[in-house]
Amino acid sequence: MAGGVSCRVERSSTAKPAAIYDVLMDIERWSEWMPTVSAASWEQRGEPDTGLGGVRRVRSGITISRDRVVDGVQPSHHAYTASLPRLWPVREFRGDIRIEERPNGSLIVWTVTCKSRIRRLEERLQNTVDSTYTRIAAALAEEAERRAR
């Protein structure tokens, strides 16, 4: 039986929550700033302001995943589940992004939970998830700051 993996990344940004949320929702431009993403688009559009109910098609190298937006409140919260290719040793993937206003900008809190399909890969998967989402949260903050200039 495989077990769970989770990570929580916090990243400060000088950008306001609305600017960060706008970058996050600009799916078609993810490949310009998001590490590992080579293309992204809406396969099915959801609610106009939050994407709720929508499905994103995200390409990373040769693999494609689909993210379903399951919750969100503009400009402070965005949550999704991901359907990943079978070749990835991951199942039950959920991402949750909170954007908290701070006196000098924002705090991005990105949490990820998933389960490994293969128990002996849990430690490696944990390290991969930690490093990947640390990089992604930093890239989101930097892109929002760049666009706000």
Q: What is the pLDDT of residue 13?
A: 98
Whether the Cβ atoms of residue 112 and residue 4 lie closer than 8 Å to each other: no
Taken in order of first residue, the domains within the chain and their CATH numbers are: 4-148 (3.30.530.20)
List of residues 6+ apart from 32 with CB closer than 8 A? 143
Interval 32-80: pLDDT, tens: 999 999 999 999 999 999 999 999 999 998 999 999 999 999 999 999 9
- Contacts of residue 57, defined as CB under 8 A and 6 or more positions apart, other chains included, come to 40, 41, 42, 43, 64, 65, 66
Tokens, residue 10: 């916090």
Encode pLDDT of 94-143 as tens digits.
999 999 999 999 999 999 999 988 878 888 999 999 999 999 999 999 99
Confidence check: pLDDT of 2 > 70: no
HSE of 72, CA atoms in CB hemisphere, 13 A: 24
Asked if the model's pLDDT at residue 85 lies above 50, the reply is: yes
pLDDT band at residue 86, thresholds of 50, 70 and 90? confident
Q: Work out the average pLDDT over 7-36.
A: 97
Cα distance between residue 69 and residue 47, in whole Å: 10
What global pTM score does this model have? 0.94
